[in-house]
Protein backbone atom coordinates (compact mmCIF):
# COMPACT_ATOMS: atom_id res chain seq x y z
CA UNK A 1 0.00 0.00 0.00
CA UNK A 2 2.83 2.42 0.77
CA UNK A 3 4.33 1.82 -2.67
CA UNK A 4 0.93 2.38 -4.31
CA UNK A 5 0.48 5.67 -2.43
CA UNK A 6 3.99 6.79 -3.38
CA UNK A 7 3.43 5.92 -7.03
CA UNK A 8 0.06 7.71 -7.10
CA UNK A 9 1.68 10.80 -5.58
CA UNK A 10 4.45 10.78 -8.18
CA UNK A 11 1.93 10.45 -11.02
CA UNK A 12 -0.13 13.33 -9.55
CA UNK A 13 2.98 15.51 -9.38
CA UNK A 14 3.54 14.83 -13.08
CA UNK A 15 -0.06 15.79 -13.91
CA UNK A 16 -1.52 12.31 -14.40
CA UNK A 17 -4.89 11.11 -13.15
CA UNK A 18 -5.19 7.56 -11.81
CA UNK A 19 -8.00 5.08 -12.37
CA UNK A 20 -7.94 1.80 -10.44
CA UNK A 21 -10.13 -0.99 -11.76
CA UNK A 22 -10.56 -3.63 -9.08
CA UNK A 23 -10.57 -7.28 -10.17
CA UNK A 24 -14.05 -7.72 -8.64
CA UNK A 25 -15.40 -5.32 -11.30
CA UNK A 26 -14.09 -7.63 -14.03
CA UNK A 27 -14.59 -11.14 -12.63
CA UNK A 28 -17.05 -13.02 -10.47
CA UNK A 29 -20.79 -13.02 -10.04
CA UNK A 30 -20.98 -9.30 -9.14
CA UNK A 31 -18.82 -8.13 -12.05
CA UNK A 32 -19.93 -5.22 -14.20
CA UNK A 33 -21.29 -5.93 -17.66
CA UNK A 34 -19.07 -4.99 -20.58
CA UNK A 35 -21.44 -2.11 -21.38
CA UNK A 36 -21.42 -0.81 -17.79
CA UNK A 37 -17.63 -1.00 -17.58
CA UNK A 38 -17.25 0.78 -20.93
CA UNK A 39 -19.62 3.53 -19.79
CA UNK A 40 -17.67 4.04 -16.54
CA UNK A 41 -14.36 4.16 -18.45
CA UNK A 42 -15.75 6.71 -20.90
CA UNK A 43 -17.20 8.75 -18.03
CA UNK A 44 -13.80 8.95 -16.34
CA UNK A 45 -11.72 9.52 -19.48
CA UNK A 46 -13.98 12.31 -20.77
CA UNK A 47 -14.42 13.93 -17.37
CA UNK A 48 -12.09 16.37 -15.73
CA UNK A 49 -12.49 14.68 -12.39
CA UNK A 50 -10.10 13.36 -9.83
CA UNK A 51 -8.50 9.98 -9.39
CA UNK A 52 -11.14 7.27 -9.28
CA UNK A 53 -11.78 3.59 -8.84
CA UNK A 54 -14.18 1.17 -10.44
CA UNK A 55 -15.58 -1.71 -8.41
CA UNK A 56 -18.80 -3.73 -8.46
CA UNK A 57 -20.78 -0.62 -7.49
CA UNK A 58 -19.47 1.46 -10.41
CA UNK A 59 -17.16 4.45 -10.31
CA UNK A 60 -16.30 6.65 -7.36
CA UNK A 61 -13.61 9.05 -6.24
CA UNK A 62 -10.37 7.45 -5.12
CA UNK A 63 -9.25 8.27 -1.60
CA UNK A 64 -6.11 7.36 0.29
CA UNK A 65 -7.98 4.56 2.08
CA UNK A 66 -10.01 3.26 -0.86
CA UNK A 67 -10.84 -0.41 -1.04
CA UNK A 68 -13.27 -2.24 -3.30
CA UNK A 69 -16.90 -2.46 -2.19
CA UNK A 70 -17.61 -5.73 -0.37
CA UNK A 71 -21.15 -7.10 -0.29
With residues binned 3-state (H G I as helix, E B as strand, rest as coil), the percentages for the chain, rounded to 5, are 40, 15, 45
Tell whether the model's pLDDT for residue 65 goes beyond 80: no
> How does residue 62 score in pLDDT terms, banded at 50, 70 and 90?
confident
Q: What is the pLDDT of residue 17?
A: 93
Q: What is the pLDDT of residue 2?
A: 86
**Superfamily of segment(s) 2-61:** VSR Endonuclease (3.40.960.10)
Instruction: Report CA torsion sign: 57, 43, 36, 12.
Output: negative
Q: What is the pLDDT of residues 6-61, one digit of tens each?
A: 999 999 899 999 999 999 999 999 999 999 999 999 999 999 778 999 999 999 99
Amino acid sequence: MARDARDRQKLAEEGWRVLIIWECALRGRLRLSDAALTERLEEWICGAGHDAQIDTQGIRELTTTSTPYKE
